[in-house]
């Protein structure tokens, strides 16, 4: 898959100034959010922008990113930069990282949210769907973290907050028949987070895993198995599910605590999910 190159970065951002700019813990931070074209990614980008952060919105659907940036510019006090990029392409991510730093400044907040959720009975599943989940949920997350780790370490060395947020899933430690490979990718995210926390935490980077439960997003809408699509829709209506904005609030809280505090793991589920 090819990625749209980042061009005319300076013309794509707007910085609003005024006496009403936020002064809270998100104000002035430079954030990137992957999977920002919909769902949790879009909601998180919106929440960080409202809090005063400069936000680079990363995703594959350039039109949606541009529309979201245009929407947010009406109220955001920070800069907004839509960046069309495929997180499974490490060279494209590195190019994007350099352009974002040039346009917005050093990144100190990374939300690795891009994901794919494709279910099917193990013996009947399409292996191309397995590959896609491994590519996006694991390789894409790895490449995202690698592209911005130097910037996070630099921010921490300067005494500023530095956050690497992985958006995992309760599926990483729960049993969901017919979702085995998806669960495996999220279990890998959970253990990767723990190890990166041990590696980067002593150098000042707060690495955390936010694990949503049943949440209404576009995830799963494109999976091949029609029965699992129906089952997923029923799961989201049999209880009061979370909205993407609920997860965005949790992420904003986790990165807004005092710099010496790390909310390392956060499980966010509907009350009825237990």
- DSSP for the chain, written as a single string: ---PPP--GGGG------TT---STTTT-EEEESSTTSHHHHHHHHHHHHTT-EEEEEES-HHHHHHHHHHHTTT-SS-EEEEE--TT-HHHHHHHHHHHHHHH-S--EEEE---------TTT--HHHHHHHIIIIIIIHHHHHHHHHHHHHHHHHTT---EEEEE--GGGTS--TT-HHHHHHHHHHHHHHHHHHHHHGGGT-EEEEEEE-SEESSTTTT-S-HHHHHHHHHHHHSS-PEEHHHHHHHHHHHTTS-TT----EEEE--GGG-
Residue 182 annotated as catalytic = yes
Q: List pLDDT tens digits, range 128-183.
A: 999 999 999 999 999 999 999 999 999 999 999 999 999 999 999 999 999 999 99
pTM of the model: 0.91
Catalytic hit among 138, 182, 183, 214:
182
Ordered by where they begin, the domains of the chain are 25-267 (3.40.50.720)
71-81 average pLDDT score: 92
**What percentage of the chain has pLDDT greater than the value 90?**
87
Q: List pLDDT tens digits, range 28-57.
A: 999 999 999 999 999 999 999 999 999 999
77-83 average pLDDT score: 95
């Amino acid at each position: 898959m090819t990625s749209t190159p980042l061009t005319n970065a300076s013309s794509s951002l707007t910085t609003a100034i005024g006496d009403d700019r936020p002064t809270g813990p998100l104000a002035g931070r430079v954030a990137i959010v992957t999977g920002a074209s919909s769902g949790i990614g879009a909601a998180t980008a919106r929440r960080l922008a409202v809090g005063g952060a400069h936000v680079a919105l990363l995703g594959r659907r350039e039109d949606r990113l541009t529309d979201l940036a245009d929407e947010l510019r009406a109220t955001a006090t920070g800069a907004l930069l839509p960046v069309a990029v495929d997180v499974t392409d490490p060279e494209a991510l590195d190019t994007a990282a350099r352009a974002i730093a040039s346009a917005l400044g050093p990144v100190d907040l990374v939300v690795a949210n891009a994901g794919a959720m494709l279910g099917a009975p193990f013996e009947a599943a399409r292996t191309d769907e397995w590959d896609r989940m491994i590519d996006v949920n694991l390789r894409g997350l790895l490449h995202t973290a690698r592209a911005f780790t130097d910037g996070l370490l630099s921010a921490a060395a300067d005494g500023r907050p530095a956050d690497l947020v992985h958006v995992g899933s309760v599926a990483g430690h729960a049993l969901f028949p017919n979702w085995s490979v998806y669960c495996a990718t999220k279990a890998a995210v959970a253990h990767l987070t723990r190890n990166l926390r041990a590696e980067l935490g002593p150098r000042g980077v707060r690495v955390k895993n936010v694990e949503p439960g049943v949440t209404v997003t576009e995830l799963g809408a494109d999976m091949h198995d029609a029965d699992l699509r129906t089952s997923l829709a029923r799961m989201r209506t049999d209880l009061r599910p979370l909205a993407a904005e609920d997860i965005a609030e949790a992420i904003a809280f986790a990165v807004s605590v005092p710099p010496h505090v790390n909310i390392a793991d956060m499980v966010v589920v509907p009350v009825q999910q237990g």
